Chain A
């Protein structure tokens, strides 16, 4: 079966760094996505990784290791507005996204 695992909830302090991990087992792989979802809103695209390594985009970076079935999202210089759920999703061999349940990130002042 297909499975995506990520922690249910994490807490971090404003200004700090947090790493949200995601492990996956899917039938085929055509890329891994991270989405941000604020409470009561739609998910919005953050990052895409298809090759191994780190992709950096401002305060956010995403890492992928295909051999380990592993990714992480790194958020630096945390701001209160980063309080949200972060969804990991893998595009399978049929080009459909398989979603993790999401990690709720709580930022404390």
Chain B
């Protein structure tokens, strides 16, 4: 692993099903983020975690939950998927104290809810 790994790469999901998107980083970054990206709307923050054991809500948290049991992993769960959650999901991380380096992104998960 180098950087951030997201899984799966893509998924077609039936509405009403539960789904967990996985995100793992090996850079020992304290902060991690989940974004969704929709055409014309740019990146919108779903949830974030400033350090292991803490999480916070972003701009569009409804229908999503996260956990941060350790530094490396930050899974995103859709409890009961709806078609409006069709999007590309990006996980990112950053190192507090090194703000000038910005965020590092995973390669994304393309989710289609039908």
Please give, as numbers and ranges, the residues of chain B lying within 8 Å of A8 by CB-CB distance.
40
- A41:B107 contact, CB within 8 angstroms: yes
A87 CA to B90 CA in the complex, in Å?
A: 15
Bound-state CA distance A16–B7 (Å) is 39
Q: Give the nearest-CB partner of A34 in chain B.
A: B102
| Bound CA–CA A28/B78 (angstroms) | 32
- Cross-chain contact A87 with B107 (CB below 8 angstroms): no
Contact between A42 and B100, CB atoms less than 8 A apart: no
Interface string of A92-109 (1 = CB under 8 A from B): 000111011110000000
Tell me the interface secondary structure of chain B in the complex.
mixed
SS class, residues of chain A in contact with chain B = loop
- Tell me how many residues of B have a C-beta within 8 Å of chain A: 20
Residue of A nearest to B50 (CB): A95
Size of the chain A interface, CB-CB below 8 angstroms: 22
Report if A91-B40 is in contact (Cβ < 8 Å); known contacts: A42-B90, A42-B108: no
Contact of B102 among A42, A97, A100, A102 (CB under 8 A): A97
Is A44 at the interface (CB under 8 A from chain B)?
A: yes
- Supply 11 A–B pairs (Cβ within 8 Å), ascending by A: A8-B40, A41-B107, A42-B90, A42-B105, A44-B105, A48-B100, A50-B100, A87-B43, A89-B102, A96-B45, A100-B42
Known interface pairs A8-B40, A42-B105, A99-B44; 20 further A-B residue pairs with C-beta atoms within 8 A, sorted by A's residue number: A30-B99, A41-B107, A42-B107, A42-B108, A43-B43, A43-B90, A43-B105, A44-B105, A45-B102, A45-B103, A45-B104, A48-B102, A87-B42, A95-B99, A96-B48, A97-B103, A99-B42, A99-B43, A100-B42, A101-B42
Top 6 closest pairs, chain A to chain B, by CB:
A101-B42, A42-B105, A99-B43, A48-B100, A45-B102, A33-B102
